[in-house]
Protein backbone atom coordinates (compact mmCIF):
# COMPACT_ATOMS: atom_id res chain seq x y z
CA UNK A 1 0.00 0.00 0.00
CA UNK A 2 1.24 3.46 -0.88
CA UNK A 3 2.00 5.70 2.03
CA UNK A 4 4.50 6.46 4.74
CA UNK A 5 6.12 3.52 6.51
CA UNK A 6 7.73 3.96 9.90
CA UNK A 7 9.73 1.39 11.77
CA UNK A 8 9.86 0.30 14.51
CA UNK A 9 6.43 0.82 16.05
CA UNK A 10 7.73 0.46 19.59
CA UNK A 11 11.19 0.83 21.07
CA UNK A 12 12.72 0.91 24.54
CA UNK A 13 16.17 2.40 24.89
CA UNK A 14 18.54 2.87 27.76
CA UNK A 15 19.87 6.33 28.48
CA UNK A 16 22.88 7.00 26.31
CA UNK A 17 22.06 4.50 23.60
CA UNK A 18 21.68 5.59 20.00
CA UNK A 19 19.22 4.41 17.43
CA UNK A 20 17.66 5.27 14.08
CA UNK A 21 13.96 5.60 13.39
CA UNK A 22 13.24 4.69 9.81
CA UNK A 23 10.81 6.47 7.52
CA UNK A 24 10.07 5.66 3.89
CA UNK A 25 7.45 6.94 1.48
CA UNK A 26 6.58 5.69 -1.98
CA UNK A 27 4.53 8.64 -3.20
CA UNK A 28 7.45 10.64 -4.63
CA UNK A 29 6.79 13.39 -2.10
CA UNK A 30 9.34 16.19 -2.01
CA UNK A 31 8.69 17.21 1.55
CA UNK A 32 9.31 15.00 4.56
CA UNK A 33 9.38 15.81 8.24
CA UNK A 34 9.67 14.37 11.72
CA UNK A 35 7.48 15.37 14.63
CA UNK A 36 7.31 14.36 18.22
CA UNK A 37 4.04 14.26 20.10
CA UNK A 38 3.91 14.78 23.82
CA UNK A 39 0.80 15.04 26.01
CA UNK A 40 -0.64 18.55 26.07
CA UNK A 41 1.90 19.87 23.58
CA UNK A 42 0.55 18.81 20.24
CA UNK A 43 3.04 17.95 17.52
CA UNK A 44 6.39 19.67 17.45
CA UNK A 45 8.62 19.70 14.40
CA UNK A 46 12.07 18.16 14.86
CA UNK A 47 13.58 18.27 11.37
CA UNK A 48 12.33 18.50 7.85
CA UNK A 49 13.54 18.10 4.28
CA UNK A 50 12.37 19.74 1.08
CA UNK A 51 14.18 17.31 -1.18
CA UNK A 52 17.03 14.85 -1.42
CA UNK A 53 20.19 16.33 0.06
CA UNK A 54 18.37 19.20 1.80
CA UNK A 55 17.44 19.20 5.46
CA UNK A 56 16.70 21.85 8.04
CA UNK A 57 15.90 22.16 11.71
CA UNK A 58 12.47 22.56 13.18
CA UNK A 59 11.35 23.66 16.60
CA UNK A 60 13.04 20.96 18.71
CA UNK A 61 16.11 19.63 16.84
CA UNK A 62 18.52 19.10 19.72
CA UNK A 63 19.58 15.51 20.20
CA UNK A 64 18.44 14.41 16.75
CA UNK A 65 20.09 14.13 13.35
CA UNK A 66 18.58 13.53 9.93
CA UNK A 67 19.75 12.94 6.39
CA UNK A 68 17.96 12.68 3.06
CA UNK A 69 20.05 10.75 0.58
CA UNK A 70 17.05 9.66 -1.49
CA UNK A 71 13.56 11.03 -2.12
CA UNK A 72 12.04 7.99 -0.45
CA UNK A 73 13.90 7.77 2.86
CA UNK A 74 14.24 10.16 5.78
CA UNK A 75 15.74 8.47 8.85
CA UNK A 76 15.85 10.15 12.25
CA UNK A 77 18.85 9.40 14.45
CA UNK A 78 18.92 9.77 18.20
CA UNK A 79 22.53 10.37 19.08
CA UNK A 80 22.50 9.67 22.83
CA UNK A 81 19.04 8.90 24.13
CA UNK A 82 17.73 10.79 27.14
CA UNK A 83 14.52 10.25 29.16
CA UNK A 84 13.28 13.60 27.81
CA UNK A 85 13.13 11.99 24.39
CA UNK A 86 10.45 9.57 25.50
CA UNK A 87 7.66 10.42 23.09
CA UNK A 88 5.66 9.32 20.09
CA UNK A 89 7.42 10.14 16.84
CA UNK A 90 5.65 10.72 13.54
CA UNK A 91 7.11 10.94 10.10
CA UNK A 92 5.02 12.84 7.55
CA UNK A 93 5.33 13.71 3.88
CA UNK A 94 3.58 15.94 1.39
CA UNK A 95 3.63 16.72 -2.29
CA UNK A 96 5.23 20.15 -2.27
CA UNK A 97 6.55 22.40 0.39
CA UNK A 98 5.39 25.44 -1.53
CA UNK A 99 1.89 24.18 -2.19
CA UNK A 100 -0.38 25.48 0.51
CA UNK A 101 -2.83 22.74 -0.31
CA UNK A 102 -0.29 20.07 0.41
CA UNK A 103 -1.66 18.10 3.29
CA UNK A 104 0.44 15.66 5.21
CA UNK A 105 0.41 11.91 4.91
CA UNK A 106 1.51 10.56 8.27
CA UNK A 107 3.25 7.35 9.20
CA UNK A 108 1.74 5.21 11.93
CA UNK A 109 4.11 6.50 14.58
CA UNK A 110 6.90 5.13 16.77
CA UNK A 111 6.39 4.97 20.51
CA UNK A 112 9.82 5.44 22.10
CA UNK A 113 10.59 5.00 25.77
CA UNK A 114 13.98 5.93 27.20
CA UNK A 115 14.74 4.47 30.61
CA UNK B 1 2.97 33.89 20.02
CA UNK B 2 1.24 30.63 19.31
CA UNK B 3 0.55 30.08 15.66
CA UNK B 4 -2.39 27.77 16.34
CA UNK B 5 -4.54 27.90 19.46
CA UNK B 6 -7.05 25.30 20.49
CA UNK B 7 -8.62 26.38 23.75
CA UNK B 8 -10.77 23.30 24.41
CA UNK B 9 -8.70 20.50 25.92
CA UNK B 10 -11.77 18.27 26.13
CA UNK B 11 -15.27 18.27 24.72
CA UNK B 12 -18.29 16.04 25.15
CA UNK B 13 -21.17 15.65 22.70
CA UNK B 14 -24.26 13.50 22.61
CA UNK B 15 -24.45 11.02 19.79
CA UNK B 16 -26.23 12.44 16.72
CA UNK B 17 -25.70 16.01 17.90
CA UNK B 18 -23.43 18.56 16.20
CA UNK B 19 -20.25 19.83 17.84
CA UNK B 20 -17.86 22.69 17.11
CA UNK B 21 -14.17 22.47 17.87
CA UNK B 22 -12.47 25.84 18.08
CA UNK B 23 -9.26 26.89 16.38
CA UNK B 24 -7.67 30.31 16.03
CA UNK B 25 -4.51 31.03 14.12
CA UNK B 26 -1.93 33.74 13.81
CA UNK B 27 -0.15 34.66 10.61
CA UNK B 28 0.82 37.72 8.62
CA UNK B 29 1.16 35.71 5.44
CA UNK B 30 -1.81 36.37 3.12
CA UNK B 31 -1.46 32.88 1.67
CA UNK B 32 -1.94 29.95 3.99
CA UNK B 33 -3.75 26.68 4.39
CA UNK B 34 -5.68 25.38 7.35
CA UNK B 35 -6.08 21.70 8.10
CA UNK B 36 -7.85 19.50 10.60
CA UNK B 37 -6.59 16.05 11.56
CA UNK B 38 -8.18 13.33 13.65
CA UNK B 39 -6.18 11.05 15.91
CA UNK B 40 -8.16 8.09 17.26
CA UNK B 41 -6.93 6.07 20.22
CA UNK B 42 -5.06 3.80 17.81
CA UNK B 43 -2.69 6.70 17.22
CA UNK B 44 -2.70 7.32 13.48
CA UNK B 45 -3.21 10.83 12.11
CA UNK B 46 -6.08 11.14 9.65
CA UNK B 47 -6.60 14.16 7.40
CA UNK B 48 -10.14 15.52 7.63
CA UNK B 49 -10.51 18.84 5.84
CA UNK B 50 -8.61 21.70 4.24
CA UNK B 51 -9.35 25.42 3.84
CA UNK B 52 -7.27 27.79 1.78
CA UNK B 53 -6.92 31.43 2.76
CA UNK B 54 -8.28 32.58 -0.60
CA UNK B 55 -11.19 30.20 -0.66
CA UNK B 56 -14.47 32.09 -0.74
CA UNK B 57 -16.58 29.27 0.60
CA UNK B 58 -16.26 27.20 3.73
CA UNK B 59 -14.84 23.75 3.11
CA UNK B 60 -17.02 20.69 3.60
CA UNK B 61 -16.16 17.00 3.60
CA UNK B 62 -19.13 14.80 4.39
CA UNK B 63 -20.10 15.40 8.03
CA UNK B 64 -17.16 17.77 8.51
CA UNK B 65 -17.29 21.46 7.71
CA UNK B 66 -14.89 24.25 8.46
CA UNK B 67 -16.32 27.53 9.71
CA UNK B 68 -13.73 29.92 8.29
CA UNK B 69 -13.83 33.46 9.62
CA UNK B 70 -10.83 35.14 8.09
CA UNK B 71 -11.12 38.51 9.81
CA UNK B 72 -11.29 36.80 13.19
CA UNK B 73 -8.58 34.31 12.21
CA UNK B 74 -10.64 31.38 13.24
CA UNK B 75 -11.11 28.00 11.57
CA UNK B 76 -13.53 26.00 13.64
CA UNK B 77 -14.34 22.41 12.79
CA UNK B 78 -18.01 21.46 12.84
CA UNK B 79 -18.93 17.80 13.06
CA UNK B 80 -22.57 17.14 12.32
CA UNK B 81 -24.53 14.12 13.52
CA UNK B 82 -21.77 12.87 15.84
CA UNK B 83 -21.03 9.18 15.91
CA UNK B 84 -19.30 7.07 18.54
CA UNK B 85 -16.41 6.63 16.14
CA UNK B 86 -15.80 10.38 16.22
CA UNK B 87 -14.34 10.07 19.72
CA UNK B 88 -10.71 11.07 19.20
CA UNK B 89 -8.17 13.86 19.46
CA UNK B 90 -8.57 16.59 16.88
CA UNK B 91 -5.72 18.82 15.76
CA UNK B 92 -5.91 22.07 13.88
CA UNK B 93 -2.88 22.94 11.75
CA UNK B 94 -1.69 25.70 9.47
CA UNK B 95 0.80 25.82 6.62
CA UNK B 96 1.98 29.26 5.51
CA UNK B 97 2.36 29.94 1.82
CA UNK B 98 5.44 32.14 2.09
CA UNK B 99 7.69 29.22 2.89
CA UNK B 100 5.34 26.30 3.35
CA UNK B 101 8.14 24.57 5.15
CA UNK B 102 6.37 24.02 8.40
CA UNK B 103 3.04 22.91 9.64
CA UNK B 104 2.04 24.50 12.90
CA UNK B 105 -0.15 22.33 15.07
CA UNK B 106 -2.41 23.18 17.96
CA UNK B 107 -2.36 21.23 21.19
CA UNK B 108 -5.50 19.35 20.24
CA UNK B 109 -9.03 18.83 21.53
CA UNK B 110 -10.16 15.51 22.92
CA UNK B 111 -13.71 14.78 21.79
CA UNK B 112 -15.84 12.18 23.52
CA UNK B 113 -19.15 11.16 21.97
CA UNK B 114 -21.67 9.97 24.55
CA UNK B 115 -24.20 7.32 23.51
**DSSP assignment of A6-35, as one string?**
EE-SEEEE-TT--EEEEEEESS--SEEEEE
Helices (H) and strands (E) in chain B, counts: 0, 12
Predicted pLDDT of residue A40: 78
Which of A56, A100, A111 to mutate to test binding with chain B, by most B CBs within 10 Å of its CB? A100
* Cβ contacts of B97 on chain A, cutoff 8 Å: 98, 100
Q: Is the pLDDT of residue A34 over 80?
A: yes
Name the residue facing B105 among A42, A88, A103 (closest C-beta): A42
* Chain segment B45-82, per-residue pLDDT in tens: 999 999 989 889 999 999 999 999 999 999 999 999 99
Quote the mean pLDDT of chain A: 91
Q: Is the model's pLDDT at A101 over the cut of 60?
A: no
Q: Is the pLDDT of residue B98 over 90?
A: no
- Chain B residue closest to A106 (CA)? B45
pLDDT at A102: 67
Model pLDDT, residue A97: 54
CA B89/CA B87 separation, integer angstroms: 7
Amino acid sequence: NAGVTQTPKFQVLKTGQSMTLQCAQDMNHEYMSWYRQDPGMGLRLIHYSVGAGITDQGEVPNGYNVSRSTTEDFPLRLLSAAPSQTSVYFCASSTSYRDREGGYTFGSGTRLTVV
Amino acid sequence: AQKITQTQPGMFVQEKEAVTLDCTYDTSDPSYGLFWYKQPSSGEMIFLIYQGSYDQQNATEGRYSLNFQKARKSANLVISASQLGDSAMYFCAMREGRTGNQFYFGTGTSLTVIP
